[in-house]
Chain A
Amino acid sequence: MKQLFTFVKKEFYHVFRDWKTLLMLFGLPVIQIVVFGFALTNEIKKANIVVVDNAKDLASQQIIDKMEGSKFFSLQKTLMSSSQIDAAFKEGTIKLAVVFPVNFNTDLLHLNKASIQVIADASDPNTAITLTSYVSSIVGDYQAQLVPTSAIPFTIQPEVRMLYNPDLKGAPNFVPGVMAMVLLLVCVMMTSVSIVREKELGTMEILLVSPVKPLMVIIAKAIPYLFLSLINLCAILILSVYALDLPIKGSLLLLFGESALLIITALSLGLLVSTVTSSQQSAMFTSMLGLMLPTMLLSGYMFPIENMPIVLQLISNIVPARWYYIIVKAVMLKGLGFSAIWKETLILAGMAVFFLALALRNFKIRLE
């Protein structure tokens, strides 16, 4: 026991005396959360749109007022010809143009029918669809106001509710993703590098010629990173709650427990990497390449897994982040309990056991 304690203490010294490791350990998650939270977001805020009001009547004015009130748009009212609008799109200065025809109100009142031209820059289809749907809903709103409910005999009003994320914010999607990525990357990389470093520096040679058991080396290496990763997790959660306004709906304890499970899986994977690589660089490279891409692309947080070709869907099953992503979304966003995620938990636990057993089996008790 004392042996283990001293060993763990030594590992902590290594971490705290190497500012590069520390920076990576604590800098990476904070930077990722901040970057994803504030810079790289697919939410639409203050999109530049142009309104060409050729009608200048009551109806067009009222619709424009509604648009101006929306936080999604930054409105610019000009009189542009269609070629000028074309040019503005080509320059990329505007995302959307709304054109009211002459006699908009008159047509509306007398012919019971009027049209508005909505032109969107669909080179980014997501943005285009979102923006046009905003405009349609504003127009729809106005129309509903205009006509007394009794006037139209049959109306079907879809009551849309965006569950768990009513404002369609990006944070609920990427925070679980970033959590998975940071915990996996940091843990796998740190542990693999730390064992390989002992090989590279030759200290493994002395450790091998000592009564220390492989299991102890492995556990002692893992404990500090488990501990530091949990602190990391706290940092991510505090940031997401206070800086990104993303409340944790479910049990915090459950979230930590599940995260600890992912960390253990990642640590085991790191140990496995360390047993098959012989230099710090190749360990780093293997964990980066082998984890970064699958975690980002196949965990379901950037692209929905259901839409992938069947081969990728199958591969995604062995990506630990995929299961963790489901778990975090369930606990953090939906507030579900353990009964909803026991299957995913079991899969993660199985992976941890598998990796750890493989790492132990591969741990070389000799030099070659």
Chain B
Amino acid sequence: MNAITLSNITKTYNRKTVLAVDDVSFEVGKGEIFGLIGPDGAGKSTLFRLLTTLLIADKGTATVAGHDVVKDFKEIRGLVGYMPGRFSLYQDLTVEENLNFFATVFNTTIKENYELIKDIYVQLEPFKNRRAGKLSGGMKQKLALCCALVHKPEVLFLDEPTTGVDVVSRKEFWEMLHRLKLLGITILVSTSYMDEATRCDRIGLILGGRLLSINTPEDTIKAYPEKLYAAKSDGIYALLKDLRSFEGILSCYAFGEFLHVSLKCAEQEALSYIQSKGHTHVEFKQITPTVEDCFIRLLNQKNEGNGHKDE
């Protein structure tokens, strides 16, 4: 049985003037880590709120742990752990008080499920008498995860849990999620960090309320149809401009210190074009696309599609 199912979910705000989620359907299997990847405003948080029974969809149905999100919202509320996108614990309560409070709210105790949260809690323990508002960003998120986990939920909803968290803490956070997965907990997680996508079992790329693709990170990358090259020279901005005016180019965009380029023409042709423009220290090599590349590709496709429609 799937832990989460959505079929044709549509949600609008402001009397149907703002389309937040547009006809989204997907399933998440039990014990799976499913990542919703997309920029801010893509509709990720709305999906979370729909699934955690906080909002009601305009159209479509959804179930969590086998319960309908509208009819059986009470059952779901006892079964899931939810960590909202914004830090939502009591800032004026200490770490321990927060944890104790949420444990009691879910009719359990810290002791009962200590095994589950032990790994994170040992890191928080030195600060247990500190007010939650005074914690660092990473610590706050760890505490929030603890609070969402303390009642041993079947399904865990984590809305951008690593936003504003340093690289080391992010790594730890994901290791944590993989340990939870081993315990059979289903995790729906959203992020706007593309590099985190590879840590999910499957990812859904979401943009403008539409789910553009659902696949494993590997297959998402494999599905990238063209060859992708990384290019670099002394004058990176000039290179970008030149390449964009080149006929044989499919797409070209800045990516870190490189330009990522895909071609219509042969590799050799592009190289000689670059050299003809007098660039020095040119590097040009084929690379494996990242999830972000796949995302940018989908984004461009969508924009072009819209462009055609406009004409």
A contacts, CB < 8 Å to B: 2-3, 6-7, 10, 13-14, 17-18, 201-203, 205-212, 365-368
Q: Which residues of A contact B82 (CB under 8 A)?
A: 205-206, 209
Contact-residue size bin, chain B (C-beta under 8 Å from the other chain) = 20 to 34
Contacting pair B77 A201 (CB below 8 A):
no
Q: Which residues of A contact B53 (CB under 8 A)?
A: 208-209, 366
Alpha-carbon distance between A62 and B56 when the two chains are bound, in angstroms: 88
A325 vs chain B, min Cβ distance (A) = 36
Q: Does B88 contact A (CB under 8 A)?
A: yes
For B63-95 the 0/1 string (1 means CB < 8 A from A) is 000000000011001101010101111111100
A4 vs chain B, min Cβ distance (A) = 9
Write 29 A-B pairs (CB below 8 A) sorted by A numbering.
A2-B104, A3-B104, A3-B105, A6-B100, A6-B101, A7-B104, A7-B105, A10-B101, A14-B92, A17-B92, A18-B92, A201-B91, A202-B84, A202-B87, A205-B54, A205-B84, A206-B82, A206-B84, A206-B147, A209-B53, A209-B77, A210-B77, A210-B78, A210-B102, A210-B105, A211-B74, A211-B77, A211-B105, A212-B105
Q: Which residues of B contact A6 (CB under 8 A)?
A: 100-101, 104-105
* Residue among A207, A210, A367, A368 facing the most chain B CB atoms (10 A cut-off): A210
Closest residue on chain A to residue B131 by CB atoms: A17
Q: Does B22 contact A (CB under 8 A)?
A: no
Alpha-carbon distance between A150 and B273 when the two chains are bound, in angstroms: 135
Q: Which residues of A contact B147 (CB under 8 A)?
A: 206
Q: Does B107 contact A (CB under 8 A)?
A: yes
Closest residue on chain A to residue B86 by CB atoms: A202
Contacting pair A209 B88 (CB below 8 A):
no
Question: Chain A's interface: helix, strand, loop or mixed, by majority?
Answer: helix
Closest residue on chain A to residue B55 by CB atoms: A367
Of all A-B residue pairs in the complex, the 4 with the closest CB atoms, nearest first, are A202-B88, A6-B104, A209-B82, A211-B78
Q: Does B97 contact A (CB under 8 A)?
A: yes
B223 vs chain A, min Cβ distance (A) = 35
Known contacts A202-B86, A206-B88; is A366 also within 8 Å of B54 by CB?
yes
B contacts, CB < 8 Å to A: 49, 52-56, 73-74, 77-78, 80, 82, 84, 86-93, 97, 100-102, 104-107, 147-148
Contacting pair A205 B88 (CB below 8 A):
yes
Q: Which residues of B contact A10 (CB under 8 A)?
A: 90, 93, 97, 101
Alpha-carbon distance between A14 and B98 when the two chains are bound, in angstroms: 12
A183 vs chain B, min Cβ distance (A) = 25
Q: Which residues of B contact A18 (CB under 8 A)?
A: 92
* Residue among A3, A202, A207, A209 facing the most chain B CB atoms (10 A cut-off): A209
Contacting pair A208 B97 (CB below 8 A):
no
Alpha-carbon distance between A367 and B107 when the two chains are bound, in angstroms: 23
Contacting pair A203 B88 (CB below 8 A):
yes
Q: Which residues of B contact A366 (CB under 8 A)?
A: 53-56
B50 vs chain A, min Cβ distance (A) = 10
Contacting pair B54 A209 (CB below 8 A):
yes
A219 vs chain B, min Cβ distance (A) = 14
B304 vs chain A, min Cβ distance (A) = 35
Closest residue on chain A to residue B104 by CB atoms: A6
Closest residue on chain A to residue B87 by CB atoms: A202
Closest residue on chain B to residue A201 by CB atoms: B88
Q: Which residues of A contact B104 (CB under 8 A)?
A: 2-3, 6-7
Alpha-carbon distance between A365 and B56 when the two chains are bound, in angstroms: 11
Q: Which residues of B contact A367 (CB under 8 A)?
A: 49, 54-55
Given contacts A7-B105, A14-B93, A365-B73, 7 further A-B contacts (CB under 8 A): A10-B90, A202-B86, A202-B87, A205-B54, A206-B89, A206-B102, A367-B49
Closest residue on chain A to residue B78 by CB atoms: A211
Contacting pair B54 A13 (CB below 8 A):
no
Alpha-carbon distance between A207 and B106 when the two chains are bound, in angstroms: 10
Q: Which residues of B contact A207 (CB under 8 A)?
A: 105
Alpha-carbon distance between A17 and B93 when the two chains are bound, in angstroms: 9
Alpha-carbon distance between A201 and B144 when the two chains are bound, in angstroms: 14
Known contacts A202-B88, A366-B53; is A208 also within 8 Å of B101 by CB?
no
